[in-house]
C-alpha cells in the first residue's frame, strides 16, 4: 500500500499556526506519513530550514518553487520582494510538484493555485478566524 503524503505550504499556513502544525506533522510522522513542505520562498535566502526547526515541524522533503524555477532558467527579475516569475510558471508549480510526487493532500492558502491541481487541494482561508472560535458549551 502506498504511503500517505501530505503537502504543506509555509506562508499563510504553517507560519500562521506553527504550534498546530508541529503537532500535526509529529502525529503524521507517527503514522509513517510523508510530509512535503512546499513553499514559494527560496530555501537558503528565506532561512526556511531554521524556521521549520524553530517551529518544531517534522518533514521528509522540502521543495521551493523559487529555487526550482531559477534552476530551470525561468527567473524574470529580482525585486524587493524576491525573485519574480511568469504567472503561468509560478501558479502551476505546486500542482506539478504534487502530481509528480503523488501527494494525497496539499494544504495551502492560495485561491489561485488550486485550479491547477489534479491531486487533492485544501485551501485554508483564515486561521485567524478559526482561532477566534470558542468552543460551544454542551446542552
Least CB distance from residue 98 to Mg ion, whole Å?
14
Looking at the Cβ atoms of 9 and 67, the one nearer to Mg ion is 9
Judged by CB under 5 A, the stretch of 41-49, 56-64, 102-110, 122-130 that binds Mg ion is 102-110
d(CA 104, CA 4) in angstroms, rounded, equals 6
d(CA 14, CA 57) in angstroms, rounded, equals 9
Applying CB under 5 A, which of residues 5, 7, 8, 9 lies at the interface with Mg ion? 9
Instruction: Decide: is 51 part of the binding site for Mg ion (CB under 5 A).
Output: no
Least CB distance from residue 120 to Mg ion, whole Å?
17
Least CB distance from residue 121 to Mg ion, whole Å?
12
Strand ranges in the chain using DSSP code E only, listed in sequence order: 5-8, 34-39, 61-64, 77-79, 82-84, 105-108, 121-123
Could you tell me if 5 and 34 are in contact, meaning their C-beta atoms sit under 8 angstroms apart?
Answer: yes
Looking at the Cβ atoms of 34 and 106, the one nearer to Mg ion is 106
C-beta nearest to Mg ion: residue: 12
C-alpha cell at 24: 500535526
Instruction: Decide: is 91 part of the binding site for Mg ion (CB under 5 A).
Output: no
Q: Sheet containing 5-8: which strands, arranged edge to edge?
A: 61-64, 34-39, 5-8, 105-108, 121-123
Least CB distance from residue 107 to Mg ion, whole Å?
10
Applying CB under 5 A, which of residues 68, 109, 119, 123 lies at the interface with Mg ion? 109
C-alpha cell at 37: 513542505
Residues that bind Mg ion (CB under 5 A): 9, 11-12, 109
Amino acid at each position: 500500500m502506498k504511503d500517505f503524503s501530505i503537502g504543506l505550504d509555509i506562508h499563510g499556513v504553517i507560519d500562521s499556526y506553527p504550534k498546530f502544525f508541529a503537532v500535526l506533522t509529529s502525529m503524521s510522522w507517527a503514522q509513517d506519513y510523508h510530509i512535503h513542505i512546499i513553499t514559494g520562498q527560496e530555501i537558503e535566502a528565506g532561512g526556511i530550514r531554521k524556521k521549520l526547526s524553530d517551529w518544531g515541524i517534522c518533514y521528509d522533503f522540502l521543495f521551493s518553487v523559487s529555487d526550482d524555477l531559477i534552476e530551470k532558467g525561468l527567473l524574470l527579475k529580482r525585486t524587493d520582494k524576491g525573485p519574480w516569475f511568469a504567472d503561468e510558471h509560478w501558479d502551476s508549480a505546486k500542482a506539478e510538484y504534487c502530481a509528480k510526487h503523488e501527494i494525497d493532500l496539499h494544504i495551502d492558502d492560495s485561491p489561485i493555485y488550486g485550479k491547477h491541481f489534479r491531486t487533492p487541494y485544501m485551501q485554508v482561508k483564515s486561521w485567524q478566524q478559526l482561532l477566534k472560535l470558542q468552543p460551544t458549551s454542551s446542552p
